[in-house]
Chains A and B, each alone.
Chain A
Amino acid sequence: MTSPGLEEDMLRPFPELSAYGEGLRRGEFLIPRCRDCGQAHWHPRPFCPFCHGANITAERALGGGTVYSHTVIRSVDSPYVLAYVTLDEGPSMLTNIVGSDVDAVAIGSRVVAVVEHGETAAACVRFALAPPAPRSPTEDSA
């Protein structure tokens, strides 16, 4: 799915965002939240796009989200899912849904973040369909 030329660190031109790249290399998905107005936003920038304050915290994302919209790009040898996922924190982000049949994704599907380290591909966050909710202990013992 990675395109040629994406091997370099795409965050290099943005020194003010180094915390996010370092987080990805540690396997952590960090999202920006404004300490002034309290809102989370996407994508990261050194200020809040809502109140334009500059007190931003890179906080660890909850990791869950819901598919807002999706498409399967079929004009390539290996079709892939392009999607917007609405994070549980509120903002929606462009991403891919990976790890399942491309036709299994639907609007409203629950997904979980998959952090890709930046060794051979761009450091970024993709999502996978969330596993079905675990059965309760009562069911297990039944």
Chain B
Amino acid sequence: MSPASYVVGAYEHPLRKAPDKSVAALHFEVAAGALQDAGLGFGDVDGYFCAADAPGGVLSMVDYLNLRVRHLDSTETGGSSYPIHVAHAAHAIAAGHCNVALITLAGRPRSERLASGTAVRPGNPQQPDYPWELPFSPVTLGLYALCAQRHMHQFGTTSEDLAWIRVAASTHAQHNPNAMLRTPVTVADVVGSPMIADPLRRLDCCVISDGGGAIVLAREEIAKSLSRPQVRVKGTGEAHKGASGGEVDLTYTAAARSGPLAFAEAGVTPADIQYASIYDSFTITVLMQLEDLGFCAKGHGGRFVRDGNLIAGTGRLPFNTDGGGLCNNHPGNRGGMTKMIEAVRQLRGEAHPAVQVPNCSLALAQGLGGWLGTRHVSGTLIMERQ
């Protein structure tokens, strides 16, 4: 990708419950935080990106933040919107359509007491899939459980395998003072937690949290004029997967297509990646994306994550060193932003010392938005420390 774009600012909101702040105010706070992190101001921003979590979308948010921009993008693909915004921002910067791009996410499902995973989320009645799915009460959790059940049937994946993903996340979260769940758990804890949607148990599920995050991208000359470590956008990929007219195959995700696109653009292979942030709405989400991104063969995800292989310091592929969505936060029920922020911390050497990957220079951030069991969009981002 040339000319290059750099992540110059990253900020994660410290709150996990924000009943006294509006979603719009949270967007402002994360924007201000990321710009301050970059050493830039609101007046420097000439490109703005937000998704459906931003109340009123681009129309309201640009007005509210009082930005003067020449590039706007409201690409909405659920939780994968943000790595895809980074990809689109990098393209816009390369094309000369903006110099400094601001991407914000915020939400407060916890304060609003949303049953994010266990209640049916009504969509638009004009959605073409609506009358053929909503009558069956397809709660979010169920649409991931269907994939887990099939994966176990087809590949012999076990509940204990999935539990190792939670164990790794919780092992990391104990070092994150902002994480919602900081107590490490064992495989026995996970498989002993109540069954919610077979084969997924309570501890296979992510948290419901308020909060948000923001990323600032800039073109190379600007990035090099700033004092922060230089994190270059090296490769991006985006892909959709759906029910395909009835040709349903629940054994893979859209990461099977977005991943190879990102690796090809970056000119690297999965074996080169030193740290990976992987979207973790549920444990199965991680396992399937690891396979699809090529960190192991299809069907081998269970044995790959076993025995602490995702734990920083001991495992082959340290993942979600902030505790991820499983233990840290899941602002707006969307994971792609926080995945990128922790990857940036790793590349800057600013992760918690207990989980920092030594000399981390190549990292991947993987987001997924929508529903694994029906339709979703994957966004893969590979970044390199210069």
Contacts and interface: CB of A to CB of B under 8 A. Distances in A.
Contacts of B135: 2, 6, 10, 121-122, 124
B142 A71 contact: yes
B250 interface: yes
B245 A41 contact: yes
B245 A49 contact: yes
Task: With a 10 A CB-CB cut-off, give which of A41, A73, A121 has the most chain B CB atoms.
Answer: A73
Contacts of B120: 3
A72 interface: yes
B174 to A, nearest CB: 28
B250 to A, nearest CB: 6
A14 B250 contact: no
Contacts of B55: none
A69 B150 contact: yes
A63 interface: no
Contacts, number: 131
A70 interface: yes
A128 interface: no
A117 to B, nearest CB: 12
Task: With a 10 A CB-CB cut-off, give which of B128, B131, B133, B247 has the most chain A CB atoms.
Answer: B131
A71 B145 contact: yes
A131 interface: no
Interface residues of A, number: 45
B123 to A, nearest CB: 11
A75 B197 contact: yes
Interface in B119-167: 120, 122, 125-126, 128-139, 141-143, 145-150, 153
Interface of A: 1-3, 5-6, 10-11, 13-14, 40-45, 48-50, 68-76, 80, 82-84, 86-87, 90-96, 107, 121-122, 124, 126
Interface of B: 118, 120, 122, 125-126, 128-139, 141-143, 145-150, 153, 194-200, 243-248, 250, 373-374
20 contacts: A10-B125, A13-B125, A40-B246, A41-B245, A43-B128, A43-B243, A43-B246, A49-B244, A69-B147, A69-B153, A73-B197, A74-B194, A74-B195, A76-B118, A82-B139, A87-B246, A91-B245, A91-B247, A94-B133, A107-B149
